Amino acid sequence: MKTIALNLVLLFGLLTVACIKITSTPLPIANYTSLDTTNKRFLALGDSYTIGQSVPKTDRFAEQTKQLLAQQNFMFEPIEYIATTGWTTLNLESAIHAQNPMNNYTIVSLLIGVNDQYQTHDTTFYRIRFTNLLLKAIQLAGNKKEHVFVLSIPDYSVTPAVSASNKAIVSKEIDWFNEINKSVTLSFEVGYTDITISSREAANNAQLIASDGLHPSGLEYKKWAELLAPKIIHALK
């Protein structure tokens, strides 16, 4: 009987994870207006993709998400960032520890891993550190895992900064790292947004690349915001 019960628990867990939606195409923003006029708090965790390297602050994906949320009367205080260009999961983990933010954020976004891929190529330690960061993100959201939003790592191999001879291996490694952050995220039943598919469209559209030839443009970040905003609205209803 114990074996049967355990199998049922495992089966239920697998079914629960399978039901979590992973979106790579924008959901329509419902015509929903929040009646809660209290300003909410948004913490964005990550690296250069989070701070929008080489684009104006207003073009960052979190800022554009905030603008879309405001249209539905979900009002946020100025977004707080713990993110710096070049950071790995270890850097981000250390920075969160040093800053010691309070555990009362309405929304926490997490996008981290490209520098782990670029600097270390170490998937084993990435899994461990990403798991730690996800658990911390949940804690920072007041232990409301439905208020945590993980984004996949964009594929920078499509940019001019990567030589033709390295594009294939970079793209493959990005997939490896995304397989890890996706599996960890879903194992904790946290929402996962795949923006990698969108980022690869830059191979045929230079307007999606910032002036530095490496990072996304504000137009690309807008696409990410359009993926995130409907999910955040759904979580806050």
- The number of C-alpha atoms within 13 Å of 112 and in the hemisphere containing its C-beta is 31
**122 Cβ neighbours under 8 A, 6+ residues apart:** 116
Residue 45: CATH number of its domain: 3.40.50.1110
201 vs 218: CA distance, rounded Å = 14
Predicted pLDDT of residue 155: 98
How many independent structural domains does the chain possess?
A: 1
Predicted pLDDT of residue 39: 85
Strand partners, 43: 80, 108
42-46 and 80-83 as β-strands: parallel, antiparallel, unpaired? parallel
Sequence-ordered alpha helix ranges (H) in the chain: 2-18, 48-51, 61-71, 89-99, 114-119, 123-140, 167-187, 196-199, 218-236
Burial of 31 (C-beta count, 10 Å sphere; 0-12/13-18/19+): exposed
Q: Domain containing 183: what range?
A: 2-236
Q: Is the dihedral of CA 51, 67, 40, 197 positive or negative?
A: negative
Query: What is the full per-residue pLDDT of the chain (237 aa) written as tens digits?
Result: 433 333 333 333 333 333 344 555 565 555 555 556 578 999 999 999 999 999 999 999 999 999 999 999 999 999 999 999 999 999 999 999 999 999 999 999 999 999 999 999 999 999 999 999 999 999 999 999 999 999 999 999 999 999 999 999 999 999 999 999 999 999 999 999 999 999 999 999 999 999 999 999 999 999 999 999 999 999 998
Token output for 154: 């964009």
User: What angle separates helix 167-187 from helix 123-140, to the nearest 10 degrees?
Assistant: 40
Token output for 192: 């996962």
The 10s digit of each residue's pLDDT in 177-192 is 999 999 999 999 999 9
80-83 and 191-193 as β-strands: parallel, antiparallel, unpaired? unpaired
